[in-house]
Structure 1
Amino acid sequence: MSVLIFALLGSIAPEDGRTRKDEVRNGLFSTVAFVLGALTSCLSGYLGMKIATYANARTAIEARRGIAPAFMCAFRSGAVMGFLLSSLGLLNLYLAIIIFGKFYGEDWKGLFEAITGYGLGGSSIALFGRVGGGIYTKAADVGADLVGKVEKDIPEDDPRNPAVIADNVGDNVGDIAGMGADLFGSFAESTCAALVVSAVSSLGRSHDWPGMMFPLLISATGILTCVLVTLIATDLKPATKISEIESTLKLQLIVSTVLMTPVTLAVAVTALPATFELAVPSRDPTKDFDTKIVKNWYLFVCVASGLWGGLAIGLQTEYFTSNRYKPVQDVADSCRTGPATDIIFGLALGYKSTIIPCFVIAICIYIGNT
């Protein structure tokens, strides 16, 4: 509704030759896209929690047969939720573009401006699921641990402690529904932003449909690539003991990044024209934007920089959070001198762990704007 209100307020002073009718239409379709994004996010979270509750019971049963069956059951159920979230979001976004296009006709700029409400709707649900669920699960977690460990000397997550039920419910809401909504919101927002940028470029003016769908093609090929990569953990090289789980998951991340790089290049070369114009911020204070000639492989470099930047951040995150490496071992060792040194050392290590991601993100932004 807020999107509709702001669109109606903006219609008082229409820009780019738009009439009040165009602004009202944009407001209406932005509201529809907002509701669609919110419903998709809710559905993704609900199905994720449904899958998780069934998978937990099945994984516990499979664990009686060994680590490998339990790991494969847990990994496959997690993959189902991930693929469900991304494919459902991609499908609904594509259908919204097709249906909205029937009403917008040749006005692609207005069409993709209205589509941005889809990402905003997903983010609004992510706020409630992630923040609300996170607050609930942390309160339940701390309460259960205090009652069980401090007062009754019961281990963490012990079934003899009734408060563990609230802890598990909070984990399901915050870590599954909230995280799923958060990931969906990030996916929808980034895709919608890319579509808006392409709509104001020469691709939008020339109505180059494959070029305009480049962001969706990247997501679609990424889903297919990741489906193939999951076979490594489930069939080719499953973890047979606990110490191998971390290495298997890291292998998944590395292989998917390596395979996705040539796929991205192929999509950029085939879907995009050899050269096209793109509006970029102007350094001239008298102008807002300048026109820049962009080659199709430039977009490949942008996507590849984010792809490999994400891999670098993932690997360094593992280094700072895994008990196989020195940082976590040093934090554990600092506990010997008391909780004060443990808190100080852990806080300092947390600050230190943000250095590499900051540099990686800065480099990716620089590459994307060069």
Structure 2
Amino acid sequence: MTAVPYLALIASVLALLLAYYFAKVVLRADQGTELMREIGAAIREGAMAFLRREYRWVSVFVAAMFVLLLIVPIADDFAPRLAASFAYLMGAVLSSVAGFIGMRIATAANTRTANAAREGAAKALPLAFKGGAVMGFSVAGLALLGISINYLLWVKWLGVDQAFQVVAAFGLGASSIALFARIGGGIYTKAADVGGDLVGKVEAGIPEDDPRNPATIADAVGDNVGDVAGMGADLFESYAGSIVAPVVLASLLVPVFLEGDSLAGSFGDAEGLLMYPILIGALGMIASIIGALFVRGREGRSLPGQLHTGQYVAMALTVVFAIVGTLVLFSGSPTFVTEDTTYELSAPIFLAFTIIVGLLGGWAIGFTSEYFTSEHFRPVKGIAQQSETGPATVTIEGIAQGKLSTLPAVVLVVAMIGLSYLFGGMAFGEAGNEIGLYGVALAAIGMLAVTGVIVAVDAYGPIADNAGGIAEMAELPPEVRGVTDSLDSLGNTTAAVAKGFAVGSAAVTALALFKSFSLTAGEKVLLDINDTAVTIGLFLGAMTPFIFAALTMSSVGRAAQAMIVEVRRQFAEIPGLREGEPGVKPDSRRCVDISTQAALREMLLPGGLAVVLPLVIGFIDVNALGGFLAGAVVTGFLIAIYMANSGGAWDNAKKYIEAGAHGGKGTDAHAAAVVGDTIGDPFKDTSGPAMNILIKVMTIVSLVFVPAFL
């Protein structure tokens, strides 16, 4: 049993080695023509420059939180506060490192993917996937590495007081980076995308990614800072939180004592419950590594089938590994003593069932996202049909389909919570008892057990998108752009699927963290709807995701306005630019600078609110904070699903028309679809994806600081 954290360390190192191998494969590939190299270098330079500036800004926030954890009385003694501060710092640093590595390789893979597309999709797809897999396995490997080290250091080796609160601080560090990375990257990418599309496509009548458009390079940079670094930080935080939540919950449901004079913890049979989430993380990592090796380009096979092969192999292996690992870890029917009850883990197989429920639930939520965002299904075709009558009907239908998409997502999450709660209790022979909440927390791990592959498939999308832009700017033959467009269209759908995984796990993880918050607060928190403080908190919490969405969307609007003004100015003041005269080039650096400054400036207020609001409410009234979290989790989940799916549907409706439907490019229908896509940009890439981080940041801040509130 004590070998589990070491197994997790080995699995994380293997993941990092695979990321290193894939990085070498990508870097060995041919970058193509001199012009392609030049364009790729400009994108890489802009992306890495933004990431460095963003990290400098965020480091100030991280330093402030480090000090806050030291001075706020989250523990009676200084030692656990110091440990929590360092655990927080480790979470922030590892998340930043994963983003930096993933960004570096993604910006190298885009040019090489564009060049490989000259030989066909069978060459380009596996290269783009490997570029994304570097981010995927860096994220998952570093997250599991950090959790394993924190568990060994604070719980096993040093045995600090309130050790599991300290482990939770690691998740808080990851959440801090994720929140700012998602908001900042989302504002950056959509400012460039919206500004470039409205002036370029609609006003100037030039194609997407045309080298004449000054915003084209900024848009390509944005794909990386938003959909690679931002998304990677998002799923780093989601993955870490999904493991931390059941570990902390188990420590509160089954009290853990330190025995004797030694600092080393003595847990008895309870150690199995603490180790189990880490074991599933390790086994899922091994399954993901094997699955990733199955993604190979083959002529004649469908692109989605080839890309999803690795994910399906990883999921199948995770099911097998989870069953075997559960039976081995809990052989002998161990017993667990709480303050009121002694539980016997008489049927451990049901714990494996909670993992399977989470895994299948995550896949099902991802499938519903694919249904509502893929051009192969009715919702997107319906939005494209509405383009015949103008942008107003396109907008109405996109909003309607996004809101409708919350129905299957909620049904699936409710079913997943109910089944995992039932199975969690049945494992202990106590169906319906509070111990069943442990099973709910485990379901979140099941959803993200194959994070390495999920992120790889998601990060593939912006690499393919950039490859298409480079093909256009480098004036490669139309058939090459046709290959990259097919890869890009698939990438939009895979991004929606990954967002489904992330937001679904956010709801379940937040529920587990919320229960941990309630257990830590004890009798001080009674979530009675008749309590005026709880009712006030519910309203404030339900309001917060709406305010957060409004702030981030307004930020995109302001930044895009500045971009539009700049693009119009360059078309008006640079002779021959719009006409594409030889030797006339736009000032792309100016557009990159506009997006960078806007993103860094605009991310501070919404990001700060996520931390400040629960702290302020918690110090005023802990019951109000409980209501606040409940309201925020429910509305935040719904808004995240609605915005992500509406945005993805608008985007693919535009691409469906560009592929030839309803008259194709240059028609009134196409112009209407471009407007819909523009509205959807901040929906799917800024406000929507950041929502799941918002609800987890507020929940984990409340959990870590609840001793101070009391």
Q: Greater shift after overlay, 48-57 or 203-212?
A: 203-212
Q: Count residues with an aligned counterpart.
A: 347
Matched, 1:303 2:355: yes
Change over 3 Å in CA distance of 1:313–1:102 after alignment to 2: closer
Q: Residues 203 and 211 of structure 1 are in contact (CA less than 8 Å); yes or no, is this contact kept in structure 2?
A: no
Which shifted more, 302-311 or 255-264? 255-264
Q: Which has the higher contact order (CA 8 A, sep 6+)?
A: 2
Mapped partners of 1:63, 1:276: distance in 2: 58
What do you get for the CA RMSD once the two structures are aligned? 2.5
After superposition, residues 192-207 of structure 1 pair within 5 angstroms as: 192-202=244-254, 204-205=256-257, 206-207=267-268
Deviations 1:195-222 (A, max 9, x none): 1123345594534555532212211111
Question: Residue 367 of structure 2: which of 309, 312, 315 is its match?
Answer: 315
Q: Which residue of 2 aligns with 1:361?
A: 413
Counterpart mapping for 1:183-194 below 5 A: 183-194=235-246
Residue matched to 2:330: 272
Query: Partner residue of 1:226?
Result: 288
Counterpart residue number, 2:544:
none
Q: Is the 8 A contact 2:164 2:248 kept in 1?
A: yes
Aligned twin of 1:61: 115
Q: Matched residue of 2:213: which SS?
A: coil
| 1:153 counterpart (196, 205, 220) | 205
Q: 1:52 to 1:278 in 2, by over 3 A?
A: farther
Task: Indicate which of 25, 29, 34 corresponds to 2:88.
Answer: 34
- Cα distance in 2 for residues equivalent to 1:89 and 1:82: 11
What is the CA deviation profile of residues 240-291 of structure 1, one whole-angstrom value per residue up to 9, with x for unaligned ones?
A: 36x8112333444333322211211111111235243376xxxxxxx9x766
Amino acid at match of 2:336: E
Tell me if structure 2 keeps the 8 A contact 1:257–1:311.
no
Separation (CA, whole Å) in 2 of partners of 1:98 and 1:296:
25
How far the C-alpha of 1:66 sits from its partner, in A, is 1.4
Q: CA deviation at 1:79?
A: 1.6
What is the CA distance between 1:53 and its match in structure 2? 0.7
- Residue 232 of structure 1 aligns to a residue in which SS? coil
Partner of 1:155: helix, strand, or coil?
coil
1:213 alignment partner, SS class: helix
**Range with greater deviation from structure 2 (48-57 or 96-105):** 96-105
Q: Distance in 2 between matches of 1:360 and 1:47?
A: 34
Pairing 1:146-185 to 2, within 5 Å after superposition: 146-185=198-237
Amino acid across the alignment from 2:313: V
Query: What TM-score do you get using the length of structure 1 for normalisation?
Result: 0.86
On the 8 A contact 2:69/2:82 being kept in 1, the answer is no
**Once structures 1 and 2 are overlaid, which stretch shifts more, 137-146 or 250-259?**
250-259
Residue 125 of structure 2 is aligned to residue 71 of structure 1: yes
Residue 305 of structure 2 is aligned to residue 260 of structure 1: no
Is 1:334 paired with 2:386? yes
The CA deviation string for residues 108-146 of structure 1, in whole angstroms up to 9 with x for no partner, is x72222111111001111111101110111111111112
Identity of aligned residues (%): 39
Tell whether 2:52 aligns with 1:52: no
Alpha-carbon spacing, 1:322–1:183, altered in 2? closer, same or farther (3 Å) = same
Name which of 212, 217, 220 aligns with 2:279: 217
Task: Summarize the Cα distance change of 1:278–1:224 in structure 2 as closer, same or farther, 3 Å threshold.
Answer: farther
Give me the whole-angstrom Cα distance separating, in 1, the residues matched to 2:146 and 2:341. Answer: 34
The 1:164/1:291 distance shift into structure 2, 3 A limit, reads farther
What is the letter of the counterpart of residue 227 of structure 1? I
* Counterpart-to-counterpart distance in 1, 2:66 and 2:89: 11
In 2, the alpha carbon distance for the partners of 1:26 and 1:213 equals: 21
Matched, 1:324 2:376: yes
Equivalent residues of 2:165, 2:248 under 8 A apart: yes
Q: Is 2:373–2:380's contact at 8 Å kept on the other side of the alignment? A: yes
Q: Measure, in 1, the Cα distance between the counterparts of 2:287 and 2:87.
A: 28
Kindly report which structure 2 residues correspond to 1:75-90, keeping only aligned pairs within 5 A, or say none.
75-90=129-144
Which residue of 2 is the match for residue 240 of structure 1? 299
Deviation at 1:102, TM superposition (A): 6.5
Q: Take 2:208 and 2:341, find their aligned partners in 1: how far apart are those partners?
A: 60
In 2 relative to 1, CA 48–100 (structure 1 residues): closer, same or farther, beyond 3 Å?
A: same
Question: For residues 320-355 of structure 1, what are the alpha-carbon distances to aligned partners after superposition, in whole Å with 9 as ceiling and x for unaligned?
Answer: 211112221121112112222222122111111121
More displaced stretch, 161-170 vs 26-35: 161-170
Please report how far the alpha carbon of residue 299 of structure 1 lies from its aligned counterpart in structure 2 after TM superposition.
1.8
How far apart in 2 are the matches of 1:227 and 1:6? 36
1:227 offset after TM fit, Å?
1.7
User: Which letter maps to 1:35?
Assistant: L
Aligned residues of 2:69 and 2:85 also touching (Cα < 8 A): no
CA distance in 2, matches of 1:52, 1:65: 20
Contact in 2 for aligned 1:334/1:341 (Cα 8 Å)? yes
For 1:41, the aligned partner's letter is S
For the residues of structure 2 that align with 1:364 and 1:101, how far apart are their CA atoms? Answer: 31
1:136-165 per-residue CA deviation (whole Å, 9 max, x = no partner) reads: 111111111122123332211122222111
Alignment partner for residue 177 of structure 2, among 99, 122, 125?
Answer: 125
Structure 2: runs of 5+ lacking an equivalent: 1-63, 258-266, 423-710
Tell me the equivalent position of 1:17: none
How far has the Cα of 1:300 moved from its partner?
1.2
Q: Structure 2 counterpart of 1:228, which letter?
A: I
What residue in structure 1 maps to residue 694 of structure 2? none
CA contact (8 A) 2:254 2:336 kept: yes
Amino acid at match of 1:254: Y
* Structure 2 CA distance for partners of 1:26 and 1:4, relative to 1, 3 Å: farther
DSSP-derived class of the 1:36 partner: helix
1:272 and 1:94 map into 2 onto residues whose CA distance is 20
Gaps of 5+ in 1: 15-19, 280-286
Q: Distance in 2 between matches of 1:225 and 1:203?
A: 32
Check the 8 A contact 1:321/1:328 in 2, yes or no: yes
- The Cα of 1:96 is off from its aligned counterpart by 2.4
Report the secondary structure of 2:302's partner residue. Answer: helix
| Contact 2:335/2:342 (<8 A) preserved | no
CA distance in 1, matches of 2:151, 2:185: 32
Counterpart CA distance in 2 for 1:327 and 1:102 is: 52
- Displacement of 1:2 in angstroms is 4.2
